[in-house]
C-alpha cells in the first residue's frame, strides 16, 4: 500500500512542477533556490486543507477521497521541499 501512496505523491510532485513551469506558482522541486517562506506557505495551506477535511468529518460530512488527496498534496509539498533542500546542499545545477 505504501508504494501506491508514494506513486501518488510522485505524480502530485510532477503535477505541481508542471504548474510551476507554466507560471502558476513557485517554490516546488523544480525551483532550487526558491524562497523557503514560499514553500512553507504552500505546505501550511495544504495542512489547512487536511484540517478542513477533518472538520467536515466531525460535522458528519466525510469525504475520504478528498482527505486522501489533501494528504497526498501535503506529502508532495514536503517531499518536493526536502528534495530542493538536498539539491541545494549538494550543489545541484539544473
> Is 26 domain-assigned?
yes
DSSP letter for 60, please.
T
> Is 45 domain-assigned?
yes
Ramachandran angles phi, psi of 85, nearest 5°: -65, -45
> Is 60 domain-assigned?
yes
Instruction: Give me the mean pLDDT over the 10-31 stretch.
Output: 78
> Is 17 domain-assigned?
yes
22 and 14 in contact (C-beta within 8 Å)?
no
| Predicted TM-score (pTM) of this structure | 0.87
DSSP codes of every residue in 6-32: HHHHHHHHHHHHHHHHTTS---STT-T
91 or 51: which leads in pLDDT: 51
> Is 43 domain-assigned?
yes
User: Rounded to the nearest 5 degrees, what angle is found at the Cα of 12, between the Cα atoms of 35 and 30?
Assistant: 35
> Is 94 domain-assigned?
no
The tens digit of pLDDT for each residue in 44-72 reads 999 999 999 999 999 999 998 999 999 99
Per the structure, the count of domains in the chain is: 1
Q: State the residue range of the domain holding 79.
A: 2-89
Please provide the distance, in angstroms rounded to a whole number, between the alpha carbons at the two ends of the chain: 32
Amino acid at each position: 500500500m505504501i508504494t501506491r501512496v508514494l506513486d501518488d505523491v510522485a505524480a502530485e510532485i510532477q503535477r505541481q512542477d508542471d504548474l510551476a513551469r507554466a507560471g502558476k506558482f513557485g517554490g516546488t522541486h523544480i525551483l532550487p533556490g526558491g524562497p523557503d517562506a514560499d514553500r512553507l506557505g504552500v505546505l501550511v495551506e495544504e495542512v489547512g486543507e487536511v484540517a478542513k477535511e477533518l472538520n467536515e468529518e466531525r460535522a458528519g460530512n466525510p469525504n475520504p477521497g478528498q482527505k486522501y488527496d489533501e494528504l497526498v498534496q501535503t506529502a508532495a509539498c514536503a517531499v518536493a521541499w526536502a528534495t530542493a533542500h538536498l539539491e541545494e546542499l549538494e550543489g545541484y545545477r539544473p
